[in-house]
Amino acid sequence: MTAPLSCIIGLSGPRLKKSESVFLRDANPWGVILFARNVENPDQLRILTSDIRDAMGRNTLIFVDQEGGRVQRLRAPHWRNFPSGDDYAQLYRRNPVDGLRACYLGHRLIADDLRAVGITSDCAPVLDLPQPDADPIISDRALGSSVEDIVDMAHAAMAGLMSGGVAPVIKHIPGHGRATVDSHKSLPKIDADRETLEASDFLTFRQLNDAPMAMTAHAVYTHNSRSAVTISRKSLTELIRAAIGFDGLLMSDDLDMKALSGDLTRKTERALSAGCDIALQCSGRLADSVKVAKGSKTLSGRAFERAMIADNCAEHIAYFDRKPSQEEFDALMSRAVV
């Protein structure tokens, strides 16, 4: 098998266009990410994911953001709407055993939904530690308000996904919870000193540094660099690889976000040369995908090994009886309602 390019790209709509099929065949990006624009119903989605793999000639990882709460691309009426991270956290604070069990079951149900339509990786869980004066882009997506809560809940979420054959992507490393602006709109600058970050924001990621994949935060950590961590070799090396100890596959957040400026080809080159293993670009515009492919390189060395490990995380599915699990989940979440 020819090694794929070091990128994940989006698609334009609910059906694979001929031009996109040719691009997937010829460019061979490592993965594909889907959004609400790609989703109509289960039958349509199964056809789309099958067509993607047929075009690529391999069993590629197909990604989606299905956190629950505000961020889920598969929604009612064809799929159930899942709780936010904060919903699980509220239950956990009342009864840790119930909270962990609910978080595990919720993510196991998400994995069951995703695998049924051919999606094999979920960009979740969120490990960011939210701060009260931060932009609300994280807020209720977080799995708690303390390091200990988030770590416990994230372990349960990852276990639920992986037991269902869905590879998790922790985000947004090394921590987006202090950002006072939304990185979709502009570049956040986090001014906390290293000692503060080591004792808080970094801790959630350090305690889950064996995760198969992580997504970067488009943010500047001013004590370390004047550039966004995604394009800063100093930040990626010193903060993520060394301080946090993360050695899994590192992907950028979406290169289309306004936190980063410049041409997509150049942004791709900068992210990869800084130390990201994979460049993520989500617009679904073929012209953008071509630009990202031009800036990408063939996966090799340690990046290729990390990609193979991530692929393997979606290969194993434990037995799951959905009906009683769903009933137990509903009963647990009913206790979260005040």
Distance from C-alpha of 240 to C-alpha of 26, rounded to nearest angstrom: 33
Under the phi-then-psi rule, with left for phi > 0, alpha for psi from -120 to 50, and beta for the rest, what region is 223? alpha
Is 184 catalytic? The answer is yes
Which of 253, 254, 277, 288 does the annotation list as catalytic? 253
**3-class DSSP assignment, residue 308:** helix
Residues 6+ apart with CB under 8 A from 84: 67, 68, 69, 70, 140, 141
The CB density around residue 200, as the number of other CB atoms within 10 Å, is: 17
Q: Phi and psi for 108 in degrees, rounded to 5? A: -70, -35
* Crossing angle of helices 264-274 and 286-295, rounded to 10°: 40
Distance from C-alpha of 301 to C-alpha of 168, rounded to nearest angstrom: 22
Q: Are the C-beta atoms of 124 and 134 separated by less than 8 Å? A: no
Nearest alpha-carbon partner for 201 in 230, 170, 242, 172: 172
Which of 184, 191, 210, 330 does the annotation list as catalytic? 184
Is 253 catalytic? The answer is yes
Under the phi-then-psi rule, with left for phi > 0, alpha for psi from -120 to 50, and beta for the rest, what region is 245? left
Beta strands in the chain (DSSP E): 5-10, 29-34, 61-64, 66-68, 71-72, 121-122, 167-168, 170-173, 189-190, 213-216, 220-221, 249-251, 279-281
Buried b (16+ CB within 10 A) or exposed e, 15-41: ebeeebeebbeebbbbbbbbbeebbee
Active site residues: 184, 253
